[in-house]
Structure 1
Amino acid sequence: MFNAEEPLKLWIVQLGVIVVTSQFLALILSRMRQPTVIAEIAAGIILGPTALGRIPGFAEYIFPTSSIPYLSLTANIGLILFLFIVGLEIDISTVRRNARISAAISSGIILSFSLGALMSLPLYNYFIDPSTNYSHFLLFVGVSYSITAFPVLCRILSSLKLLDTNVGVCVLSAGVGNDIIGWILLAFVVALVNAGSGYIAIQVLFGILVWTLVLMFPVRIALHWFARRSGSVENGPSITFLTVTVLLVFASAYLTDYIGVQAIFGGFLVGLIIPRENGLTISLAEKLEDVVTIVFLPLYFTISGLFTNLGLLDGPLSWIFLAGIVITDWLGKFCGAGLASRAMGFQWREAATIGTLMTSKGLVELIVLNIGLQAGILTPRVFSMFVLEALILTFSTSPIVEALYPVKLRLRVTDIPNRTVARQEITPPLGADSIQDFPASHYSNVIVVLDKLEHLPGAMSIAKLLRSPASTTRAIDNSPVIKGEAELYNNHNGTNIDALRLIELTDRTSAYMKSYRADLLHEADPILSIFRSFARLNGMPVASSVAVASRNNFAACIVDRIIEADAQLLFLPWLPPPSSSPPPVITASADLAISASTQSTASRAFDYLMHGGSAHDHTSARLHTHFIKDIFSQSPVDVALFIDKRRDLDDVSLNGHHIFLPFFGGPDDRCALAFVLQLCMGSNVTATAMRIETDSECDSYTDQIDSSGSEIDDVCWEKLSTHGPRGMGCSPHVEFITSSTKMTMEDIRRHVANEQITQAQSGKHLLAVLGRSSRLHRRYYSGLLQENINVASDLEDTIGALASAFLDSNTADGLVVIKSRGPFVWTQ
């Protein structure tokens, strides 16, 4: 039983029940691509009198009436903080960029409010006590119809991968405008209801207006000054700034509640005045969002569920009215926003999609309904109708949008009218079977993908290798965004490097803020900042961009960027998770190196790449493996995967690199040979290209080689070793060797070990460049695979047979695995 002197014990039990129930439902509904708010509303209804509350003793022991005020207090504290985060989410610049379209779509709120006002009359006559002021009831119903939940809208757009489409951008802008209008209407209604008369309501509104102006001007100016003074703009929110901000949130909440409007408005207003510079609002949201969304918000939804009793809908009349509420509310948003979108030039299908998206409800409507219930304007039956209506409309939004606006019809903001993706007529890539075109190939535009901080050393090494020896062009610091504004700079004869920063889009509010404010992230992101600084110091021309997407959509974002930037090569740094084994040690003898490399194969190399040191590393490696596979299969250009085995920054500032290329043959090996020759145009890069003679048994094992492949290999080897790339002559930095005997994998590894020892003595790192699919028989690596069949199979599928064998060796400080272009190319 509940003890008022010790409320904490029951509160902890209630919290556990609420969080477990809501998270369990969220796990199930996430597979249906539904936002978390659906699960939280449903969890509240299940825990209330509709379901579990009917079990004898459940409500008495878990949610006794005397405990509700304590639960409500903590829920309202969380609600104030959540509305502060909602204020942080709202970016007025988003509305300004699409002001005309946003204003037109938001004007659809007039039709929604009108239909709500019409529906309020029969509802009032059948279900509301005549002593209730009808005008107040009309206003609450009209505001409920007008609401579009902006946080829920963001999550739906993300789950449906619409954030970077024209429809998504316009809906986000309209959602911001609609959200602001909805809060203003709600403030007016609350002021009117609490005041009791029009004159007092005007006084309340005047007080709120004055406080808003105080926040927007003197307080905002002081807060901006303090943010810069405390270093919060440059380095993220300091403890002092965070403390001042939280105190200001609750002070504003107290004042708005004292004036006569709900305390939540105070938190919302403070969120609007936080400086937007350098991603400060995103950093603040990251500090608060987890505890708010995991702990406090489910409490508020549960309280709403405790007041929701679907058992009150016990007759046909109640269900008829419920259907009428759902239909009229949906039509108001669909027709109002849809017709306005059509008038602004959208196609009918796009306009219908916009109208459907604007029907999403959520927490904001529940706030309106709870205020109406507490004020006695709504009865429990009408309250239950509107809660169920919010659940139905939000749940139906995603499937309707998918039906109206399938992926094949979506127009992304990165689409360029004069460029199309071709699937049939394929331009011969560097590794293609066109002998005449092959020597003229050159990588002038290269995209380097930056996913994690650990990838920076590898990205820096490759950027330095790709730098033209004669390039003295000043590094370019541009801020293109994945949304179609990026450009590469081709005012020099070297290699353009485009750094693409990938940021994972999660369920956190801050992640959604990043997705539509990538321009701020471009300047604030530490990984890009480090890479740009490195480029400036080395005089390299670098453009950079940011893409925020779910991990499953990373490959699609990269392909979009490749097409947009006219790139010829995609470079992916890949740093495997650390293993528990010691790092490789270069011995003074090649025999010792080979002996060491063959010990504990399964526990060292394959574990090193695929397992890592913990279950978390194992899962992360598997996810990244699937990502690499997606890139290899979807990329419209050649792909170079850099596996950095040393895990340090030494190779950024050493004397140079020596490259070893075993040439077995095939498109990927030919592509790798051209890549090595381009790298050797630099003054501090040398290379050894070894042609490996294979017998007929070896030639029979090929992945993508036709019967004429061997002849093409011979011609390409001859022309490139004699004339060099682009007909400029063979580089003196490249040594071409043809093996005189049939070499085994052990012989190749022994040769590489000797090379590594020699190069280490001269202060150089050894880099092995390999084709992903080579003319290579399985006998070269079958012994390695037998020791760990499952892992090796996954490894081989990802990086290829030859690289799988090389990775297990202590030889070579890094690997570059080349995959020639697949069937997707672009034409201009």
Structure 2
Amino acid sequence: MPGELSRTVISLFHRKREVQQQGGLLNGDDPSAFNEHDPIRLWIIQVGVIILMTQLLALGLRKMRQPKVIAEVLGGILLGPTAFGRIPGFTQHIFPQESRPYLSLVANIGLCLFLFLVGLEIDSGIIKRNAKLSAIVALAGMILPFGFGAALAVPLYNKFIPKDVEFTHFMLFTGVAYSITAFPVLCRILTELKLLDTTVGIVVLSAGVGNDIIGWTLLALSVALVNAGSGLTALYILLTCVAWTVFLLFPAKFALRWIARKTGSIENGPTMFFMTVTILLLFGSAFFTDIIGVHAIFGAFVVGIIVPREGGLAIALTEKLEDMVSILFLPLYFTLSGLSTDLGLLNDGITWGYTVAICVLAFVGKFGGCTLASKYMAGFNWRESSAIGSLMSCKGLVELIVLNVGLTANILTPQVFSMFVLEALLLTFITTPLVTKLYPPHLRVRATASGSPFAFVGDEEAARRERRSRADELTKSRFTVVLDKIDHVPGMMSLVQLLQPARPQITRSRPSSVSDDDNAPAKSPASPLPGSQSIFVNALRLIELSDRVSAVMKSSAHDALLKSDPVLAIFRMFGQLNNIVTSGTLAIVPFDDLAYNVAEQAQRDDADMIILPWLPPHTDVDGYGAPLAEPVTPSAKPSTNPFDAMFKTGSGSHAEKSASVIHSQFVRGVFSQAKTDVALFIDQVGPEPSPISAAGTRHVFLPFFGGPDDRLALDFVVQLCASEHVTATVVRIIKSEEGHPAMPVQQPKTDKEAEEANAMTVASGIVGFPDTVYGQATTETRLQSETADNIAWARYASPAANEPHDPALTRIEFTEAPAGEPLHAAIRQAEASGLDARGRPRELLVLTGRSRRLAVENHANELKGLMEEHGNVGPEVKRTIGDVATAFIVVGCGSAVVVVQAANIPLD
């Protein structure tokens, strides 16, 4: 047609002029005004308000050990008409009614992703391993609550529900809401309370899985009945849903496993192609279940169940999706739920009476059913049974999803919806404190010994008595080695290898029948120390528990992760090659509980000593381990100081400083909470080979100042020298009259002050900054300590030393050195011992006591001078390792430094 092109071009310009103004601050428009052609601005404002509110509430509730879902639900309620909605103009500007469809779309997409993650969390193997107990608890925890919910539905329906709603539909939703258990929240509570490896935790986890599967099936049935126009239609919907579920559970599951294997996703994590197929299947299943009359979340949930679990694929898949779901999508969903929750509707006594009845019956049904079933059918005692009932009564976000489905289907009114939301919030809130009260840690029974051949499971008093009986033993045979990074493995292997006692030499041509007397190891010149045949090492692998779902999944898959963890695998192989009895334990706990977990695990293992690693931050390598193009300080010599990140004038980055400070707080926490001896291994070499890993003789230097820590170090040196490849130099530093004055002795004014001063170790009450604070030494305690020092020194340095230690003592050189400046003298002696007889450098391991209690001298002034000369360190260093070790760190003396602290075990 003539002129068509011109008219088209003109129309385009005409449309350009008619395009609606987008507005903006420069035009004087309100950026929060809703524009259906450009909803992104208001949507971003809404997301910002929601996330900020949720995170602020989570900070406070985390201190109360409450799950994050409480903050999300409470934040949604506060942003709704209950609180902020009463502010004039707030809802109209931030959450206008016309903008909610956009929020709802994003929230429902996130809900499908979340139900997919819930399906990923469910492991059918847990049910198979505990089928009988889990079935008993799960059925009892659903039948009784469902009956209570159905009974309460009668008065609720007559009082609050319009008559155009079918009673059977309302009764079904009420029963499902009562019988449901929040499995995702339950997993996090079990993990944070350290119940996963207890008999209670295993049963609750298994019952929660079964409860979740049955609950979602009942929800799908409820939605099908509501959406069906007749009973025959409901049957068709149900049969179609069952057929789709069977298709997913068998053909689709096998196909997905085949794709995972072909793409290498099981071995190397999910590939892009596997992720694409999984996401398409997820939303395709959600679309199908939605169009047949069942909610879309059911289809997403089933797809999560069929993802292969081999090789940690489900965990890796969760790690790729969980952040956006938990940070963005779920808070949006709960805010929409909160916008529909108006607690102001509970405005009379009758309504509150029904609300209280809803809360009481919901708790009694779950708690009573699970508790009675656990006691009389599963054989648990009352404490364990009540803990199971309390945990199964956790509602969390799963019931809220059920309630929102009912509200969307117009089965629940806003008033009844608000009643049930309050019930879900209350029951979730009381779960953690109730379980802590009913089932305290000292009464918990662990299902396994966590893989340790010498793990102790029993009452703590018996272990305490046993440790008292071994208080005078000098040889240590049981160790708990802490590993939280693969970088720690080389140093820990080197130190553990030194601890292995010498083995008796066996003649190859020995006769086939040898008497016991002929085979006695005590007669062998290379026999181990008396009473020690080998050492037992339990490698404790620490993984910090974060807010992520994948961290909780790792806790649930504890046994599989224990076998596949590369750090533990390397350490176990090291033990086999060196004939050292080793075991592995894995702990996934929050950062605040890491130190407590180490102390608790050592006590459970009945360990003689905890060994901690501390590696330096390396500023001369990039994030991938490759050297930097230019040194941070080109003119400076590369420092091997492990505390370089704490130097006030050093080149460490702010991130390195923060990492070192955080790790120092963890180490100080172990020092303060441990009930056994502790050794801190500090590697001063960094990325170079381990300082004591090379073949040949290793030399140990110990400056002996006195005090319980130094006495422990002296015993430790003797044990190390039982190996013919270890020699040592022990120098007793005696303060002369010249130089700095000794630490004054303060007399107690009262008996109470004397009793407090005699306390060896007192844990600091400052949360987040664990430390070890010691009472002021009195004349009596000082004299006792000096007497013990003299006895310990005479035992080893005297020519009349005990015969069993003669082989070790022949490799130790004992000297005494009066000095006006003890630290300077100790460093000079260490540098001299770092040279062999020919004057060649040799690997030197410096061993010191932490010396933060009953120390003979106060080295503060001398240490200050050393730091002015060689470089300053932050206060975290001295608080962590003490003044003597800090001096060697500042000077850089020795390839490695081991700092030991003696346990405080009163004998009364």
Residue by residue over 1:407-453, the C-alpha shift from the partner in whole angstroms, topping out at 9 and shown as x without a partner, is 454445459566643597574698x6x5xx5xxx3222322110223
Cα shift at 1:310: 2.4
What are the equivalent positions in structure 2 for 1:170-319 lying under 5 Å apart? 170-319=203-352
Partner residue of 1:390?
Answer: 424
Q: What secondary structure sits across from 1:707 in the alignment?
A: helix
SS at match of 2:361: helix
Decide whether the 8 Å contact of 1:444 with 1:568 is kept in 2: yes
Hey, what does 2:750 align to over in structure 1? none
Higher mean alpha-carbon deviation, 709-718 vs 457-466, is at 709-718
- Residue identity over aligned pairs, in percent, reads 47
- CA shift, 1:118, in A, is 0.8
For residues 472 and 91 of structure 1, what CA distance do their matches in structure 2 show?
51
Output the CA distance in 1 between the equivalents of 2:556 and 2:339.
36
Q: Quickly say closer, same or farther: Cα 1:117–1:469, change in 2 above 3 A.
A: same
Whole-angstrom distance in 2 between the partners of 1:574 and 1:609: 20
The counterpart of 1:634, out of the listed 664, 670, 673, is 673
Which position in structure 2 is the counterpart of 1:815? 897
1:292-441 maps to which residues of 2 (within 5 A)? 292-343=325-376, 344-413=378-447, 416=456, 420-421=460-461, 427=467, 434=472, 437=473, 441=474
8 Å CA contact 1:578–1:608 kept in 2: the answer is no
Aligned to 2:701: 660
Gaps spanning 5+ residues in structure 1: where? 474-490, 583-595
Bigger mean CA offset, 372-381 vs 391-400: 391-400
Whether the 8 Å CA contact 2:707–2:855 is kept in 1: the answer is: no
Match of 1:486 in 2: none
- The yes-or-no answer on 1:524 pairing with 2:564 is yes
- Is contact 1:165–1:412 with CA below 8 Å preserved after alignment? yes
1:542-563 C-alpha deviation (Å, 9 max, x unpaired): 3212112222323343344334
Query: Which one scores higher on RCO, CA 8 angstroms, separation ≥ 6?
Result: 1
**Residue type of the partner of 1:820?**
A
Kindly provide the CA deviation profile for residues 658-688 of structure 1, in whole angstroms up to 9, marking residues without a partner as x.
2111122333223222322332344543322
What is the CA–CA distance in structure 2 between the aligned matches of 1:330 and 1:117, rounded to whole Å? 15
SS in 2 for 1:261: coil
The alpha-carbon deviation at position 334 of structure 1 amounts to 1.6
Partner residue of 2:607?
A: 567
Alignment correspondent of 2:828? 750
- Give the Cα separation in 1 of the matches to 2:41 and 2:504: 69
> 2:112·2:301 contact (CA, 8 Å) conserved in 1?
yes
Distance 2:91 2:428 in 1: 28
- Given candidates 4, 26, 35, the residue that maps to 2:67 is 35
Evaluate the alpha carbon distance shift between residue 97 and residue 762 of structure 1 in structure 2; reply closer, same or farther with a 3 A threshold.
farther
The secondary structure found in structure 2 opposite 1:811 is coil
* C-alpha distance in structure 1 between counterparts of 2:332 and 2:847, whole Å: 56
For the residues of structure 2 that align with 1:338 and 1:311, how far apart are their CA atoms? 35
With over 3 angstroms needed to count, the CA separation of the structure-2 counterparts of 1:325 and 1:674, relative to structure 1, is: same
> Given the superposition, is the C-alpha separation of residues 740 and 66 from structure 1 closer, same or farther in structure 2, using an over 3 Å criterion?
closer
- Residue 542 (structure 1) aligned with residue 582 (structure 2): yes
Answer whether contact 1:769 1:815 (CA < 8 A) is retained. yes
Matched positions, count? 788
* Structure label with greater radius of gyration: 2
Letter in 1 for 2:538: D
The whole-number CA distance in structure 1 between the counterparts of 2:410 and 2:148 is: 23
Residue 729 of structure 1 aligns with an amino acid whose one-letter code is D
Q: CA separation of 1:573/1:257 partners in 2, compared to 1, >3 Å: closer, same or farther?
A: same
Using a 3 Å threshold, how does the CA distance of structure 1 residues 74 and 180 change in structure 2: closer, same or farther? same
Q: How far apart, CA to CA, are the structure 1 residues paired with 2:167 and 2:837?
A: 88
**Pair 609,81 (structure 1): closer, same or farther in 2 beyond 3 Å:** farther
Q: Is the contact between residue 442 and residue 726 of structure 1 (CA under 8 Å) also seen in structure 2? A: no
- Residues 1:743 and 1:419: Cα distance change in structure 2 (over 3 Å): farther
Cα distance change, pair 210–130 in 1 and its aligned pair in 2 (3 A) = same
* CA distance 1:492–1:543, change in 2 (3 Å): farther
User: What amino acid sits opposite 2:586 in the alignment?
Assistant: V
Hey, what does 1:24 align to over in structure 2? 56
Tell me by how many angstroms 1:505 deviates. Answer: 1.7
User: Quick check: 1:157 aligned with 2:224?
Assistant: no
Greater CA drift, 75-84 or 744-753: 744-753
- Match status 1:456 vs 2:489: yes
Among candidates 783, 798, 809, match of residue 862 of structure 2: 783
Report the equivalent of 1:553.
593
Are residues 1:510 and 2:550 paired? yes
C-alpha distance in structure 2 between counterparts of 1:381 and 1:332, whole Å: 23
Q: Secondary structure at the residue paired with 2:200? A: helix
Aligned with 1:131: secondary structure?
A: coil
- Structure 2 counterpart of 1:113: 146
CA deviations over 1:296-320 (Å, ceiling 9, x no partner): 0001001111222223333332222
The residue number in structure 2 matching 1:3 is 35
Conservation of the 8 A alpha-carbon contact between 2:77 and 2:335: yes
Change (3 A) 1:521 1:86: same
**Residue pairs, 1:629-778, within 5 angstroms:** 629-651=668-690, 653-656=693-696, 657-694=698-735, 707-721=783-797, 727-731=804-808, 734-742=811-819, 744=821, 745-756=823-834, 764-773=842-851, 776-778=855-857
Paired with 2:222 and 2:643, the residues of 1 have a C-alpha distance of: 67
* Contact 1:157 1:168 (8 Å CA) reproduced: yes
DSSP 3-state at the match of 1:296: helix
Q: How far off is 1:119 after superposition? A: 0.9
Indicate the residue corresponding to 1:500 in structure 2. 540
Alpha-carbon offset, residue 52 of structure 1: 2.1
CA deviations 1:149-198 (Å, max 9, x no partner) are 11122233344444444333322222222111111111111121122322
Supply the distance in 2 between the matched residues of 1:294 and 1:191 (Cα, whole angstroms).
Answer: 31
Q: Say which is worse superposed, 129-138 or 397-406, in terms of deviation.
A: 397-406
- Alignment partner, residue 168 of structure 2: 135
C-alpha displacement of 1:578? 5.1
Query: Which whole-Å CA distance do the structure 1 matches of 2:50 and 2:205 have between them?
Result: 31
Instruction: Report what 1:81 is aligned to.
Output: 113
Distance 1:542 1:608 in 2: 37
Within a 5 Å distance, the mapping from 1:567-646 to structure 2 comes to 567-577=607-617, 607-608=646-647, 613-646=652-685
Alignment partners' CA distance in 1, 2:566 and 2:788: 46
Q: 1:460 to 1:761 in 2, by over 3 A?
A: farther
Deviation at 1:145, TM superposition (A): 0.8
CA contact (8 A) 1:723 1:729 kept: no
CA distance in 2, matches of 1:602, 1:549: 30
AA partner of residue 824 (structure 2): E
Task: Report the CA distance shift for 1:463/1:243 in structure 2 as closer, same or farther (over 3 A).
Answer: farther
* 1:333 Cα deviation from its structure 2 partner: 1.0
Q: Distance in 1 between matches of 2:907 and 2:168?
A: 63
2:122 maps to which of 81, 86, 90: 90
Task: Compute the displacement of 1:769 (Å).
Answer: 0.7
SS of structure 2 residue aligned to 1:275: coil
